[in-house]
Amino acid sequence: MSEWKQRCESEWNLQGAPMPGSLDWKSVFDARPLGRNLLKNPSPHGLSKDTPPPDPDLPEFPTHGPPRFQPDGDFSDWTTSLEVLPYDMSGIPEGAVVCELPQCSWFTMEQVVDLKAEGLWDELLDEFQPEILIQDWYEESQLHASIYQLQVKLLGADKSTVISEHSVNPSEDLSNYSHNWKEVSHVFSGYGPGVRYVHFQHRLKSQFMMEFYTTLFTGSSVMVRPTKTSS
């Protein structure tokens, strides 16, 4: 066994995992594909889950600026899109005079992780099927009962075949005020052979009514753990 192959086996405790001799094990070791976050730019707002989310900036007087729907942040490495939602007129009595209504929007961010480009190999993914851990943290913004959605798909080599997927669409309790980070996590295991990509997508709600308010997130993560899927 080559020195670099031994170092990989020892580093990640891969005893029993398929480790073909044809691989460039130094490149695998340098890539360190196991036990690290494979998403790029996981915290575009520059925030940490270990620090409470900042309080919203409430000006002394409304600015009445033009409608705004996209949050600030460095979203490099993310593919982003925006969906402005229609005004919610439910609950307004007929004939009532309405001066202002909040308008909500979804801001969608997604990344596709190429597992082989990150240093993983076919035999490990197909036979060993290491656990794939998904984590995310979003702010209790209190803007709406639905402020966060997550969808993660494990894709085949064609980037379109869905081998496994997991979705989260929590409903917020607005009856009691709370302003913390909320964790979302999931572990993919026993997903079967053929996984080559992970498609990570989440949506966060913003609201505009005289001022712009958004739902922040931090610590998005896709991590492959050197843990064999139990048979």
- pLDDT per position as a tens digit, 116-165: 999 999 999 999 999 999 999 999 999 999 999 999 999 999 999 999 99
* Nearest one of 126, 116, 136 to 198, comparing CA atoms: 116
| CATH 2.60.120.260 boundaries in the chain | 36-228
For residue 104, the surrounding DSSP H or E stretch is strand 103-114
Q: How many helices and strands in the chain, by DSSP H and E?
A: 3, 9
The domain 36-228: what is its CATH number?
A: 2.60.120.260
Among 9-18, 54-63, 120-129, 194-203, the least confident range: 54-63
- Kind of pairing between the strands at 197-209 and 211-213: antiparallel
pLDDT at 69 (0 to 100): 80
Other beta carbons within 10 angstroms of residue 78's beta carbon come to 20
Q: What phi and psi, each to the nearest 5 degrees, are found at residue 158?
A: -85, 0
Measured at the CA of 70, the angle between CA 145 and CA 218, to 5 degrees, comes to 65
- One-letter amino acid of 211: E
Q: Stretch 81-92: mean pLDDT, rounded?
A: 75
C-alpha distances out from residue 187 to 18, 134, 224, Å: 22, 6, 10
Q: How far is CA 98 from the centre of its chain?
A: 37
Q: Which two tokens stand for residue 58?
A: 């409430």
* Nearest one of 19, 70, 26, 69 to 44, comparing CA atoms: 70
Q: Is 198 exposed, middle or buried (0-12, 13-18, 19+ CB in 10 A)?
A: buried
Which pLDDT tens digit goes with each residue over 26-75?
A: 999 999 999 999 999 999 999 999 999 998 776 666 666 677 788 989 99
